[in-house]
């Protein structure tokens, strides 16, 4: 049976800094917002240009597409860029274009040169028009997601600061159980993330706190494989405050603190620290984290090298991304060997990216 906490029925003060702001919020929020702005500034002009062209497109058979290349990132995001050189109504034009879209295509792309019949200075690849709505959706979703994450983190930071301001004044405290979702012990500080979303309650919010050496959270049990801590809600504040096992975070007299802790000291369930030790979210050692990191890095390297070997020795086409990109990034001796393997099988065709000579067509 879970013991209950009985506190004096009067306004009580809490220790300062019982609610903390995750340090990552201070640098992650501006970085994520800057990424959203950069992505929009980078892609929006090209999308708008191609939207204008799509209103009255004109295909130029005599146009020249130079240095065209497509690069696939994260297996689904594709960037295509090219230099477009053309003449129209006696005027010469030379422009660079780039398009980004989501695609699972493997191999080369075929494209042509398209201009706006109303504004001939606007030119693009036909691939850009074919993927126009794909690009609009990709840009919108990525911008909204990144911008929403940045704004959301700023909102959470402001809410934490508002709660910390409210905690400066004494108020009646109401005990509430909270689920400890994660914790990390570094040096003399125990960082804890907890959530007051218990069982069927759908209104829970995550909070974050730090406890110094010698302090442990007041654990009252476990649910769904995670420890349950005891917190108090300070008046009508939005976030509960996690209590420590000695109730040092609450301004109580010695007698009041002893009386409040009596039901918990009478337990014989193995103690609070045991609950944390048995938790699946227990802290990993630095060496263990380093081992995991090095293991993951080794798997990535082996995977990349294996894919590169398959591409240069066994693929059924030389225009295969990301095989071309990996081969291009290889050290000169490995790149030369890889190009030799490809040339043996596809020497009669145009050279792929990473193996082309100065004319961007023949083998180097």
Q: Lowest mean pLDDT of 214-223, 278-287, 311-320, 347-356, name the range.
A: 278-287
The residue out of 142, 163, 184 marking a domain boundary is 142
Confidence grade of residue 196 (pLDDT, cut at 50, 70, 90): confident
Domain co-membership, 194 together with 247? yes
Does the residue 271 lie in any domain?
yes
Residue 301: the pLDDT is 82
Does the residue 164 lie in any domain?
no
What is residue 241's DSSP assignment? E
The residue out of 248, 278, 308 marking a domain boundary is 278
Confidence grade of residue 291 (pLDDT, cut at 50, 70, 90): low
Residue 292: the pLDDT is 76
Residue 285: the pLDDT is 43
Alpha helices by DSSP H, the chain = 24-55, 126-130, 132-166, 254-265, 272-278, 286-314, 323-329, 332-346
Confidence grade of residue 76 (pLDDT, cut at 50, 70, 90): confident
pLDDT tens digit string along 104-126?
766 778 889 999 999 999 999 99
Does the residue 183 lie in any domain?
yes
Per-residue CA distances from 57 to 53, 119, 132, 266, 302 (Å): 5, 10, 13, 81, 46
What sign does the CA torsion over 263, 269, 273, 275 have? negative
> Region 147-154: what's the mean pLDDT?
89
Domain co-membership, 182 together with 262? yes
Residue 212: the pLDDT is 83
Mapped onto helix, strand or coil, the DSSP state of residue 36 is helix
Residue 280: the pLDDT is 39
Domain co-membership, 64 together with 112? yes
Residue 116: the pLDDT is 92
- Position of tokens 């069927």? 200
pTM recorded for the entire structure: 0.58
Residue 109: the pLDDT is 82
Question: Who has greater pLDDT, 196 or 133?
Answer: 133
Please state the domain count of the chain.
3
Q: Order of strands, edge to edge, in the sheet holding 57-60?
A: 57-60, 113-116, 123-125
Domain co-membership, 310 together with 273? no
> Region 322-330: what's the mean pLDDT?
82
Does the residue 154 lie in any domain?
no
The residue out of 91, 122, 142 marking a domain boundary is 142
Domain co-membership, 183 together with 262? yes
Does the residue 46 lie in any domain?
yes
Does the residue 18 lie in any domain?
no
- Interatomic CA distance for residues 149 and 346, integer angstroms: 47
Close Cβ partners of 4 (under 8 Å, ≥ 6 residues apart): 175, 263
Per-residue CA distances from 262 to 29, 218, 239 (Å): 44, 13, 26
Does the residue 351 lie in any domain?
no
| Token couple for 203 | 């209104």
Q: Could you tell me the residue range of the domain that residue 333 belongs to?
A: 288-346
What sign does the CA torsion over 204, 205, 208, 209 have? negative
pLDDT tens digit string along 268-290?
444 444 444 444 344 444 445 55
Domain co-membership, 126 together with 41? yes
Per-residue CA distances from 100 to 50, 74, 103, 336 (Å): 12, 13, 10, 30
| Token couple for 266 | 């009478």
Rounded to the nearest 10°, the torsion over CA 41, 42, 44, 45 is 100
Mean of all residue pLDDT scores within the chain: 83
Does the residue 16 lie in any domain?
no
Strands 123-125 and 113-116: antiparallel
The answer to whether the beta carbons of residues 48 and 342 sit under 8 Å apart is: no
Domain co-membership, 225 together with 305? no
> Region 56-83: what's the mean pLDDT?
84
Domain co-membership, 98 together with 122? yes
Confidence grade of residue 53 (pLDDT, cut at 50, 70, 90): very high
Domain co-membership, 274 together with 294? no
Neighbours of 128 (CB within 10 A): 25
Domain co-membership, 83 together with 56? yes
Residue 206: the pLDDT is 83
Domain co-membership, 192 together with 212? yes
Measured in residues, the chain has a length of 364
Domain co-membership, 56 together with 120? yes
């Amino acid at each position: 049976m879970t013991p209950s906490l009985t506190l004096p029925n009067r306004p009580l003060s809490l220790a300062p800094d019982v609610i903390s702001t995750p340090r990552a919020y201070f640098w992650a929020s501006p970085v994520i917002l800057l990424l959203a702005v950069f992505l929009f500034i980078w892609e929006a002009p090209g999308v708008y240009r191609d939207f204008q062209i799509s209103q009255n497109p004109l295909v130029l058979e005599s146009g020249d597409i130079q240095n065209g290349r497509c690069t696939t990132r994260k297996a689904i995001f594709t960037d295509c860029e090219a230099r477009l050189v053309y003449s129209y109504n006696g005027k010469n034009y030379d422009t660079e274009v780039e398009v980004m879209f989501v695609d699972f295509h493997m191999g080369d792309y075929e494209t042509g040169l398209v201009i706006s019949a109303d504004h001939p200075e606007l030119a693009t690849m036909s691939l850009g028009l074919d993927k126009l709505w794909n690009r609009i959706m990709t840009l919108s979703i990525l911008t909204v997601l990144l911008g929403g994450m940045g704004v959301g983190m700023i909102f959470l930071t402001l809410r934490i600061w508002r709660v910390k301001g409210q905690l400066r004044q004494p108020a009646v405290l109401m005990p509430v159980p909270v689920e400890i979702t994660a914790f990390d012990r570094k040096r003399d500080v125990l960082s804890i993330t907890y959530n007051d979303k218990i069982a069927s309650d759908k209104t829970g919010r995550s909070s974050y706190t730090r406890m110094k050496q010698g302090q442990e959270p007041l654990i009252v049990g476990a649910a769904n494989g995670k420890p349950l801590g005891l917190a108090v809600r300070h008046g009508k504040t939005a976030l509960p405050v996690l209590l420590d096992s000695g109730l040092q975070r609450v301004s109580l007299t010695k007698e009041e603190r002893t009386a409040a802790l009596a039901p918990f000291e009478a337990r014989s369930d193995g103690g609070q620290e045991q609950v944390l030790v048995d938790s699946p979210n227990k802290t990993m050692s630095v060496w263990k984290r380093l081992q995991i990191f090095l293991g993951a890095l080794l798997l990535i390297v082996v995977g990349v090298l294996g894919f590169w070997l398959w591409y240069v020795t066994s693929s059924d086409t030389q225009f295969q991304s990301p095989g071309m990109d990996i081969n291009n990034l290889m050290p000169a001796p490995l790149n030369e060997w890889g190009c030799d393997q490809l040339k043996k099988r596809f020497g009669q065709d145009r050279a792929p990216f990473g193996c082309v000579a100065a004319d961007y067509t023949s083998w180097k």
